[in-house]
Chains A and B, each alone.
Chain A
Amino acid sequence: MVLESIWFFLWGLLWAVYFMTDGFDLGIGSLLPFLGKTEEDKRVMVNAMGPLWDGNQVWLLSAGGVTFAAFPRVYAVMFSSLYSALMLILFALILRGVAFEFRGKVESPGWRKLWDACIFIGSLAPALLFGVAFANIFQGIPIDQKGVYQGTLFTLLNPYGLIGGVLFVLLFLVHGALWLAAKTDGELQARAAAAAAKIWPVEVVVAVVFLAASYFSTNLYANYMAHPLLFAVILLTVVALFGIRVFLAQRAFFKAWFASALTIVGATFYGVIGLFPNMFPSSMNPAWSLTAHNASSTQLTLTIMLVVVVIFVPIVLAYQAWAYNLFKTKVTLEDLVY
């Protein structure tokens, strides 16, 4: 019982850290055509994520891996049900990943345009689709008793799913713009800060809409009503959200980015806490939902994996923090490796 609950929150934590880290990469990539006015701008934007994006992306692999290890039935049902959405995300990430490396390898504007397009699509599509996927998970997915999905890709593109998708995009756009502002100077920095300031109010509006829509489309608030202390999570997230604006006004860009990171983590946990103990609810019949209790691995596996995670995740956080610290300086000419 306890182990499964611990793992439920670890699972949520891994997704939260993924969105908090790769979120700014997906944001910057999505902003590439808009903030990158010159070739040099674009190179700076790409190199601002350069040292960190690959390490950030591994949080996705660990979230998926942990889903498989701790909740194999959830992994099996979730990944087969969301087949088309996941394939789209996958192809987007594939194109983004190689585009970073390939972009600068041939001296041709047409070549760079192609790979910049891959970075753009490869960033915007996952941002949108992750939001759509998670919103649908909050809402419940049409799976039958055997866990067989009864819908299509378009089933996921319902209003609540789309609001979730748009929210994720906005969260990541602001997150990316703030990172860029922190890492650059001059015109590009000004543009990035202005973008963050312009998108932030839209982010707030959509967040409010999403919170309201969740009341009607999901069961997320049941846990909060039962344990009102949990509303503190939503409150802290809102505080962080407004913290972004405050720090932005002070031009304290790293602090604003931290506030944005907390917002993203808070938003993820808002959903995860609301879901508990469900992990992949069935919209057809609650009895067919996959939960932390009916879809988990054995106690032995959960215990072994807990030991592994307790040892390795702090180590990972430590050397990733070291890498972030190493690369907190502004992007300069010599840094333009990509």
Chain B
Amino acid sequence: MDVLLLSRLQFTATTIFHFFFVPLTLGLSVLVAIMETQYVRTGNETYLKMTKFWGKLFLINFAVGVVTGITLEFQFGTNWSGYSAYVGDIFGSLLAIEATAAFFLESTLIGVWVFGWKKLSRKAHAVVMWLVAGASNLSAIWILTANGWMQQPVGYAIRNGRAELTDFAAVVFNTFSILQILHVVPAALLLAAFFVMGISAYHLLKQQNVDFFTRSFRLGLVVGTIASFWVILEGDMHAKHVTKVQPAKLAAMESLWNTTSRAPVYMFAVPDEQNERNSVEIGAIPGLLSFLGHGDFNAKVKGLKEFPKSERPPVLLTFLSFRVMVALGTYFVVMMVIGIFIRKRLLENRWYLKLMMFSIPLPFLAHTAGWVLAEVGRQPWIVYGLMKTADAVSPIAASQVAVSLVAFILVYGLLGAVGYYLIGKYARLGPDAVAGPTAASGKGLRPAVV
């Protein structure tokens, strides 16, 4: 176990874990803001209860998202000092802007939202939630811009032994980043929508708070439908761009070994990297890959053999993660379309509610698969075409990383278990549950702390 492998495992584990919580923050903040706005506009107390109930789940999730994010900012320096020194002139500023423009707003205002119910007018309080939602999504935009630069470096020159910024506008308006943002942000809304619908389904199946959870479900349904279509359609645009600028990733995504025109899509394949072929190929649709990638059934698509062995990503993982993501994305669209058709008869369609309830983890899996695809597919590059991951690691003792990796597994394990236990507990209790410490331990509390 050398420092490179340990650092890669650590970065993978800590990033995937962080990204279990982030999409829910990004999406649910918007949904809660919508609910609170409905309350302000209509005065209907149900919307206030919705805001507080879904807001409570939001806050538990938000806490884990925030703390696991600190890890990532530290980790570029602790474990990837070679990377940081080489690209910091560009990458560092994107992270600093993320903190200055977005994190501050998000973290300051969430405190105001939680503690300021009685201190602000209804309208102002709702605006605060919109600002939290806006700020979180803004932070996503900046980090995706940073990652987009790693995928398609632009606006730089190699000088003084490092990548130096030459064109900030090129970095900010990098096509790859924009396509990534337009993919991930709606995907987060999709995840939040399924979260809301799944939990609502649980209560609808039990015929509890039917009006409350029907309204919640419908909000999720509208948002989820728009988001699921968007994610797939835009995903196609994104993949076309990947075909152009990351051809090795595309070849691995499709386990295509030989450059061909009328390139096929395989429903399933088992790559044999040693022998540079697929040992299993199932359901080949000829020409489809050429069409998807270039809009032309006869277009030539580069196969993995075009690239030196040392510049090919791990094929199986890239191929599988892409399939998992697309399969789930398709499932989400189907479930949303069905939902739209039966939206007035939810209670009679228990099979659908059950399916939606069990589908709660699926968007989390889809997001993870997407990121595995994006990052593993970029290997061996840490910056595509510019710097190899192997050259980016910090010159530190492997033992230190072994210790920190174990610590992350233990601490994150605890956090994940406790966090999801609490979310599950309060999700099940519903909106009428005694709301935590204030009410429950009223004994012993004086009216005002004097």
Given contacts A308-B97, A320-B104, contact A68 B110 (CB under 8 A): no
**CA–CA, A147 and B86, complex, Å:** 14
Is A313 part of the contact surface with B, judged by Cβ < 8 Å?
Answer: yes
Identify which of A52, A94, A313 contacts B100 (C-beta below 8 A). Answer: A313
List 7 additional contacts besides A75-B84, A326-B120; criterion CB under 8 Å.
A58-B104, A58-B107, A68-B95, A83-B400, A97-B67, A105-B436, A334-B118
Query: Which A residues lie within 8 Å of B59 (CB)?
Result: 101
Is B207 part of the contact surface with A, judged by Cβ < 8 Å?
Answer: no
Is B257 part of the contact surface with A, judged by Cβ < 8 Å?
Answer: no
Is the Cβ of A68 less than 8 Å from the Cβ of B96? yes
**CA–CA, A309 and B96, complex, Å:** 9
Identify which of A62, A75, A146 contacts B104 (C-beta below 8 A). Answer: A62
Is A312 part of the contact surface with B, judged by Cβ < 8 Å?
Answer: yes
Is the Cβ of B60 less than 8 Å from the Cβ of A105? yes
Is the Cβ of B440 less than 8 Å from the Cβ of A55? no
**CA–CA, A57 and B104, complex, Å:** 9
Tell me the minimal C-beta distance from B416 to chain A in angstroms: 11
How many chain-B residues does the 8 Å CB contact rule pick out? 80
Is the Cβ of B78 less than 8 Å from the Cβ of A337? no
Is B243 part of the contact surface with A, judged by Cβ < 8 Å?
Answer: no
Is the Cβ of B449 less than 8 Å from the Cβ of A330? yes
Is A211 part of the contact surface with B, judged by Cβ < 8 Å?
Answer: no
**CA–CA, A64 and B448, complex, Å:** 40
Is the Cβ of A297 less than 8 Å from the Cβ of B85? no
Question: What are 28 contact pairs spanning A and B, CB under 8 A?
Answer: A40-B444, A50-B115, A57-B107, A58-B108, A62-B104, A65-B92, A69-B96, A76-B85, A79-B74, A80-B396, A87-B74, A87-B404, A94-B70, A98-B63, A101-B62, A101-B63, A106-B422, A107-B441, A186-B449, A297-B88, A304-B168, A305-B93, A326-B112, A332-B449, A333-B445, A333-B448, A334-B118, A336-B438
Query: Which B residues lie within 8 Å of A330 (CB)?
Result: 449
Chain A interface, >50% SS class: helix
Query: Which B residues lie within 8 Å of A323 (CB)?
Result: 108-109, 111-112
Query: Which B residues lie within 8 Å of A39 (CB)?
Result: 441, 444
Tell me the minimal C-beta distance from A98 to chain B in angstroms: 5
Query: Which B residues lie within 8 Å of A54 (CB)?
Result: 66, 107-108, 110-111
Query: Which B residues lie within 8 Å of A309 (CB)?
Result: 100
**CA–CA, A97 and B68, complex, Å:** 10
Is A246 part of the contact surface with B, judged by Cβ < 8 Å?
Answer: no
Is B206 part of the contact surface with A, judged by Cβ < 8 Å?
Answer: no
Tell me the minimal C-beta distance from B43 to chain A in angstroms: 22
Number of A-B residue pairs with CB-CB distance less than 8 Å in the complex they form: 259
Considering the complex, give the chain A residue whose CB is closest to the CB of B437: A104
Is A319 part of the contact surface with B, judged by Cβ < 8 Å?
Answer: yes
Tell me the minimal C-beta distance from A89 to chain B in angstroms: 9
Tell me the minimal C-beta distance from A277 to chain B in angstroms: 19
Is the Cβ of A55 less than 8 Å from the Cβ of B411? no
Is A216 part of the contact surface with B, judged by Cβ < 8 Å?
Answer: no
Given contacts A79-B78, A149-B396, A319-B108, contact A69 B66 (CB under 8 A): no
Is the Cβ of A86 less than 8 Å from the Cβ of B92? no
Query: Which B residues lie within 8 Å of A186 (CB)?
Result: 449-450
Interface size, A (range): 35 or more
Query: Which B residues lie within 8 Å of A107 (CB)?
Result: 437, 440-441
Is A158 part of the contact surface with B, judged by Cβ < 8 Å?
Answer: no
Tell me the minimal C-beta distance from A289 to chain B in angstroms: 15
Tell me the minimal C-beta distance from B78 to chain A in angstroms: 5
1/0 contact trace for B59-77 toward A, CB 8 Å?
1101110111011011011
**CA–CA, A320 and B111, complex, Å:** 11
A54, A95, A184: most-surrounded residue (chain B CB, <10 A): A54
Is B81 part of the contact surface with A, judged by Cβ < 8 Å?
Answer: yes
Tell me the minimal C-beta distance from B59 to chain A in angstroms: 6
Is B119 part of the contact surface with A, judged by Cβ < 8 Å?
Answer: yes
1/0 contact trace for A63-94 toward B, CB 8 Å?
01110111011011111100110110011011
Query: Which B residues lie within 8 Å of A60 (CB)?
Result: 70
Query: Which B residues lie within 8 Å of A64 (CB)?
Result: 73-74, 77, 99
Is the Cβ of B99 less than 8 Å from the Cβ of A61? yes
Considering the complex, give the chain B residue whose CB is closest to the CB of A62: B99
Considering the complex, give the chain A residue whose CB is closest to the CB of B115: A51
Given contacts A51-B115, A75-B92, A76-B82, contact A68 B77 (CB under 8 A): yes
Query: Which A residues lie within 8 Å of B63 (CB)?
Result: 97-98, 100-102
Is B105 part of the contact surface with A, judged by Cβ < 8 Å?
Answer: yes
Query: Which B residues lie within 8 Å of A100 (CB)?
Result: 63
Is B284 part of the contact surface with A, judged by Cβ < 8 Å?
Answer: no
**CA–CA, A273 and B95, complex, Å:** 26
Lowest 5 A-B CB distances belong to which pairs?
A: A72-B88, A79-B77, A55-B108, A68-B92, A76-B81
